[in-house]
Structure 1
Amino acid sequence: MTDLVPDRWLTFDGLANARDVGGLPLEGGGRVRPGVLLRTESLEALSPGDVARLTGELGVVQVLDLRKDEELVASGPGALADAGITVHRLSLIPETGRGLPELGADTDPMVGHYLAYLGDRAANVVTGVRRIAERETGATIVHCAAGKDRTGVLVALISSAVGVPRDEVVADYVLSATRIEALFRRWTTGRGEPMPTTADLDRHRPRAEVMQTFLELLDERHGGPVQWLRDNGLTDDELARLRSRLRPAA
C-alpha cells in the first residue's frame, strides 16, 4: 500500500500558518505521530469556533509561547489562555542585551539570530522540548508571532531529535513561506494599514539555506541538534519519552 503524504495544514478562522508536525517522514520508515505537536503563529485572533475545535477535536492541553514580554503586552496571551489552557512562557529572545554570534560575511543574518536563540535562551529551548516529552496525552501548540523563525528553530530541533531526515526538517521550515502573504494581510487589515510590497514580503519568507546552514553549524560546533539538547540538560530518559510521544508505536 502506498504511504500517502498527509496534508498537514490546519485551517482556522484566526490562523494562517497552522500545521501538524505529525506526518513528517521518519528515518527508517513511518511518520511522526499526528495530534501531538502543532505549530502556529500567535493565537490572539482565534474565533470561538477555533478554540472549541482546538480544545475539543484536536485535544490541545498546553501552549508553548516563545514570544517576548513586549509582544505579549501588545497582542495578549491568546484565546486559549483565556479558555484555561496552560500556557508556558518560554521566550527565545532576551528583553535586553542580546548579542549575535560572529559569522562569515556570506552567511545570512538570520542564521545568527537562530544561533542566538540557543545561546541566549538555552534553558527555555530545552524546557520547551521537556514540556512536550512529559505529556502522556493531548496536543501541544508551539508558537511565536508568525510561527516561522522561533517556532521553526524549536520544531527543527524536535524533529531532528525524533528522527526526521534533515531534508524534511528543512522542507517543513520552508512551508511557512507560502503563508507570509496571508499573515501580513490579516495583520495589516486588523491595523488598517496597507500591505507591504512584494519585495518586503519576500524578505520575511523562510529560505531553505538559512535552516540548512543553521543545522550544519550545530553539527560542526555542537555535534548536532541531539547533542546540543543533551549538553544543555535534556536527559536520555526525556529524549526517549519525546521519541515515544512523537514516533508511532512499533
Structure 2
Amino acid sequence: MTDVGQDRWLQFDGLSNARDIGGLPLTGGGHVRPGVLLRTEALEHLTPGDVRRLLDEHGVRQVLDLRTDRERVEYGRGKLVAAGVDTHLLSFIPEEGRALPEVEDEDLDPMLRNYLAYLTDRGPTVVDGVRRIAQLDDGATIVHCAAGKDRTGVLVALVESVAGVPREDVVEDYALSATRIEQMFRRWTTESGEEMPEPDEIDRHRPRAEVMRGFLEQLDERHGGPVAWLQANGLTDAELDRLRERLRGE
C-alpha cells in the first residue's frame, strides 16, 4: 500500500480538508492524474486569494455541492458561485425526513448504514455526480459537502474505484480526513464564537477506515462491486471509459 497522503494536501486560507486525488496509485501501474478531482469541505470561508488560486492554478471549472438545501441556506453557496463557476446541487440526503438516512440493518455500523442509504435514497444523484466528473472536457472538479469526509468520501471512493485505485488505498485516502477534523472545528467555532467541543466529541466525527472498507465490501456483496453498482444505476460503459481516460495518468 502506498503513502496516499504524499504531497496531495492543498493549502488554502479558507480550507482545512482540501486535497487532490491525483497521485494515488493505479492497479497495474501509473497514478491518478492530478488536476482532475479535488475534494474539500464547504467553500464559504474561501478568501479572494483562494478563489484566484483555485481558478488560475488548479483550473477549477465545476463544483459538485453534495449538501442539502437547508445547509446551503444556513451557510451559503460558497464564493466560487459568485466567481461564475458552474455549480451543481446534488444533495446526497433527502430534504425531508431524518437528518441522516440509513438502511435498516442493525448488524452494520451506523455510519455505514448512512453511507448505504445515500445510494438507496439518492442513487440517481450519486450517479449524476460521477457522470459530471466524467463529462467535464477540461479542468478540475471540486466535490464537497460540509466537512468533506462522509458524502464526499462516498462519491470519491466510487470514482477512485472506477479509475482502478487499489481498495486499501481508497480506504486510506478516505481516512486521511481524520487528521483535519480538529482544524475544521477550530475554524467553525472561531467563526461562530462557540467553544471548541470536547476531544471525545471531536473524535466522534473522525472518519474511520473500517467504515469505508465495510461500505465497499457491502457493495461487493450486494451489487458485485462499486463499478457494477454504477452500471446497474445507469452509468454507461462509455461514461466509465471516459472517466478512466480523464483520471489515468503515467
TM range (shorter): over 0.9
1:101 to 100, 103, 110: 103
1:81-92 aligned within 5 A: 81-92=81-92
- How far 1:100 sits from its partner (Å)? 2.0
Aligned positions of 1:186-201 closer than 5 A: 186-201=187-202
Whichever residue aligns with residue 52 of structure 1, its letter is: R
1:135 shift after superposition: 1.1
The answer to whether the 8 A contact 2:42-2:78 is kept is yes
Matching of residues 227-242 of structure 1 within 5 Å: 227-242=228-243
| Structure 1 residues 4 and 220: alpha-carbon distance in aligned structure 2, compared to 1, 3 A threshold | closer
Deviations 1:190-249 (A, max 9, x none): 000000011000000000110011110000000000000000000000000000000016
**For residues 80-131 of structure 1, what are the alpha-carbon distances to aligned partners after superposition, in whole Å with 9 as ceiling and x for unaligned?**
00100000000000011355212233x2100000000011111111111111
Report 1:117-156 matches (<5 A).
Answer: 117-156=118-157
Q: In structure 2, the residue corresponding to 1:213 is in which secondary structure?
A: helix
Please give the secondary structure, in 1, of the residue aligned with 2:16: coil
Could you say which residue in structure 1 is the equivalent of 2:34?
A: 34
Question: Residue type of the partner of 1:202?
Answer: D
- Other-structure match for 2:62: 62
What secondary structure, in the 3-state scheme, does the structure 1 residue paired with 2:143 have?
strand
Q: TM-score, normalised by structure 1?
A: 0.96
Q: Look up the match of 1:179.
A: 180
Find the aligned partners of 1:110 and 1:129 in 2 and give their Cα distance.
22
TM-score, with normalisation over the residues of structure 2?
0.96
Give secondary structure in 1 for the equivalent of 2:142. strand
Letter in 2 for 1:128: G
Is it true that 1:73 corresponds to 2:73 in the alignment? yes
Contact 2:36-2:247 at 8 Å conserved across structures: yes
Deviations 1:145-204 (A, max 9, x none): 000000000000000011000000000000000000000000001000000011000000
- Partners of 2:222 and 2:182 lie apart in 1 by 35
Q: What's the counterpart of residue 16 of structure 2?
A: 16
* 1:4 CA displacement: 10
The answer as to whether partners of 2:21 and 2:34 remain within 8 angstroms in 1 is: yes
Structure-2 change in CA distance of 1:79 and 1:4 (3 Å): closer
State the percentage of identical aligned residues. Answer: 68
1:6 is displaced (CA, Å) by 4.0
| Aligned equivalents of 2:26, 2:10: Cα separation in 1 | 21
In 2, Cα distance between the equivalents of 1:81 and 1:225?
Answer: 31
Q: Distance in 2 between matches of 1:162 and 1:243?
A: 5
Gaps of 5+ in 2: none
Aligned partner of residue 97 in structure 2, secondary structure: coil
**Paired residue type of 1:86:** D
Q: What does residue 207 of structure 1 align with?
A: 208
- Distance in 2, matches of 1:47 and 1:78, equals 10
Moved over 6 A (4+): none
AA partner of residue 49 (structure 2): G
Report deviation, 1:48: 0.3
* Aligned partner letter, 1:77: R
Report the residue type matching 2:173 in the other structure.
D
Report the alpha carbon displacement of residue 5 of structure 1 after superposing the two structures with TM.
7.6
Corresponding residue SS for 1:9: coil
Between the aligned partners of 1:194 and 1:5, the Cα distance in structure 2 is: 30
